[in-house]
Structure 1
Amino acid sequence: LKKCFAIPLVALLVATVTSHACRYTVRDVGFADLGNERYTFFCFVDGQVSTERAKQLGQAAGALLGDSNVRFELVNLAKGDHPQAKRLAKREPGVPAGLLLSPDGELAWPVIFPAAKPDNPEWSFLASAVSSPTRNKLL
């Protein structure tokens, strides 16, 4: 009788511990820490950026950032200034510009839209915000 009671109890304890053991997830081949803190990727466009390009940026962001701790926000500067726009370096009109902002708002990393014409510049632009030398070595 003790054995019949002990086996389900141990199984219940193991299931409880494993469900709370790790907040990490495998993304591609590397690990991504999906803690509570989320970075924000601001993508600044102006009136010269086509709506098609803005749509492609949103689609690429959904695919690339969907399972990461980076939130995508498209900001149209033609509709008014944005508080984070002042953190951008010199911007070229008609070219999207990015800014990756830390959760506490202290660190900001500008991301430049690729000058070269790759097949999918939107993808390259957003991928540069979530890639790292360590992640690239793992892949």
Structure 2
Amino acid sequence: MGAIQEPTREMGPYRVEIRSESFYLNRTEAEGCTVPSRYEAVVPAADLPYLTAAFQQVRGHKAWHLKEWAGGDPTDTSWTLPPDGKGEAPAASWEVSRDGDKLSIRGPWIVYEVERGVLFTELRYLDLTDLDEELKVLDGGADAG
């Protein structure tokens, strides 16, 4: 069980729940968001600044600063496999692209189906910096944190 954080206005529809080695990043009002696979989410491209703000909140939490998770293996994505262990794990690197008004994010995380208008994801702290860098490139080099 994690610690649900109070969202800031800058986070828009995103909410964060802090855990020991990972965090849940959830998007409310997710109608129109899609989940092409267990490791990919498609959200509005306008979400870039909201994602940056959500990641800043994660970095501001004591769990991030303790860095008990920092010794992990960034190439091990086996934690993302379904409970039955079947299927392929994602690559350890992120693929982020913009197609018009849509932003596709694929990588070492778990993306759950949109339920009751909420998109649920889980992301390791270990993978956050690389995702930030990919998003920064799409955002024209803006400071991602």
**Length-normalised TM-score, structure 1:** 0.26
Structure scoring higher RCO (CA < 8 A, sep ≥ 6) equals 2
TM value normalised by structure 2: 0.25
Larger Cα-atom Rg: 1
Higher strand proportion (structure 1 or 2)? 2
Which protein has the bigger helix share? 1
